[in-house]
Amino acid sequence: MAENLLEELVEGLRCLPGVGRKSAQRMALYLLERNRRGGEKLAQVLSDAMSRIEHCKQCKNFTESELCEICSNYKRDASLICVVESPADVLAIENSGAFEGHYFVLMGQLSPLDGIGPEELGLDTFETRLQSQQIREVILATSSTIEGEATAHYLRELIEKYQIPVTRIAQGVPIGGELEYIDSGTLARSINERRKIEY
Amino acid sequence: MAENLLEELVEGLRCLPGVGRKSAQRMALYLLERNRRGGEKLAQVLSDAMSRIEHCKQCKNFTESELCEICSNYKRDASLICVVESPADVLAIENSGAFEGHYFVLMGQLSPLDGIGPEELGLDTFETRLQSQQIREVILATSSTIEGEATAHYLRELIEKYQIPVTRIAQGVPIGGELEYIDSGTLARSINERRKIEY
Ligand SMILES: [Zn+2]
Ligand SMILES: [Zn+2]
């Protein structure tokens, strides 16, 4: 038990990822000295968010509503579903501006040894969606790791049953990436999957 | 105005120093996915701290009581006062383990151009303390910056009137260095090797 309220605040801030004792102290003192209003607002929104944010009934992304903003946005293409592992991936793709469809967020990867099977990832809900909605394409955007690939493989077989076209996001050299710093696996793949340049 | 609660949480976390958009997103998702309990506790202690932490009546350090733990600890030497600029400096000196006396926290530096004079730093309270208590030494531990030295100079002249011995922490502290970022070993040394300021 911390001995005083400032100490408790420092300890509390350490629950944030990447925040050690020194940073937590700096944050606590900064808020007390210069931004109590910001600290109060943060306390309020943090409390609200922890209690009210749940998972979207359709895509499992975080939302405080029944359906998230993406699922309930009629301007987006509901016949195109991008499957990702986490809400962070949704944010990353949204920031890229390259996608106007819907999502399905696994909230993890298949990992039978850890007891994470299709049911834990909500794939029953996902399958119902494939059956009941008009889907023209599913994009698999799981990680390029062994677990991510295994998850993508399982999904491909599941979707195949419904004769829905499946794609996998392209793998290769990141834009702006210098060749000499890229791992050889990625490099090999980017060479093997090279595309013809159209004139 | 943020469009949803998750977005509001990300914005709220950005009020923390050193936390940009990416870190704030990572923090928000981490709390929602893995540590809602921690997030709830942080919200509570943050709210408590912002509303209840005030300044100690005697030393001006942060505390939720009338007198802080150091001022009300009878085991500490009340005849020895260390003057520092900020609560972060108190924490740094306490961590060094080299000091068993009391403090006076200026909560700033003299800066006439910014309208920060002796009164803004609470030096009237400090002077009353010099008059009414038995003080055998005042240690000046302001920063080794121009403003910190100017503040120390002013304090030396103020204390001189009461014929109380004044010392300045040793120049083990790098010139231009801010106290809160200095390792505790160096800090301990600079306190142990403090030099008497001659009138
Ligand atoms: Zn949704
Ligand atoms: Zn005090």
Q: Which of B31, B38, B50 sits opposite A39 (nearest CB)?
A: B50
d(CA A60, CA B27): 19
Domain with residue B18: its CATH number is 1.10.8.420
The complex's ipTM? 0.82
* B179 to A3, A55, B108, B126, B173: CA distances (angstroms): 24, 46, 13, 21, 8
State the pLDDT at residue B119.
92
State the pLDDT at residue B196.
74
Tell me the mean pLDDT in the region B162-191.
78
Domain that holds residue A163: 62-168
State the pLDDT at residue B24.
96
Residues A29 and A86 in one domain: no
Q: Is the pLDDT of residue B3 over 70?
A: no
State the pLDDT at residue B40.
97
Taking one residue from A and the other from B, the number of pairs with CB-CB distance under 8 angstroms is 167
Residue A80 in any domain: the answer is yes
Could you say which ligand is closest to the alpha carbon of residue A64?
1
Residues A37 and A89 in one domain: no
The residue ranking higher by pLDDT, B183 or B86, is B86
Query: Tens digit of pLDDT for each residue in A73-92?
Result: 999 999 999 999 999 889 88
- CB distance B35–A15 less than 8 Å? yes
Residue B180 in any domain: the answer is no
Residue A106 in any domain: the answer is yes
Q: Is the pLDDT of residue B116 over 70?
A: yes
- Residue A1: pLDDT band with limits 50, 70, 90: very low
CA distance A59 to chain B (A): 16
State the pLDDT at residue A57.
95
For B130, counting Cβ atoms within 10 Å of its Cβ (0-12 exposed, 13-18 middle, 19+ buried), the class is middle
Q: Max alpha carbon distance in chain B (Å)?
A: 63
Query: Tens digit of pLDDT for each residue in B28-75?
Result: 999 999 999 999 999 999 999 999 999 999 999 999 999 999 999 999
Residues B34 and B72 in one domain: no
Q: What is the pLDDT of chain B when averaged over all its residues?
A: 90
**pTM, two decimal places:** 0.81
Q: Report the SS3 class of residue B36.
A: helix
Residues B111 and B83 in one domain: yes
Query: Tens digit of pLDDT for each residue in A103-160?
Result: 999 999 999 888 999 999 999 999 999 998 899 999 998 888 888 889 999 999 999 9
- CB distance A63–B17 less than 8 Å? no
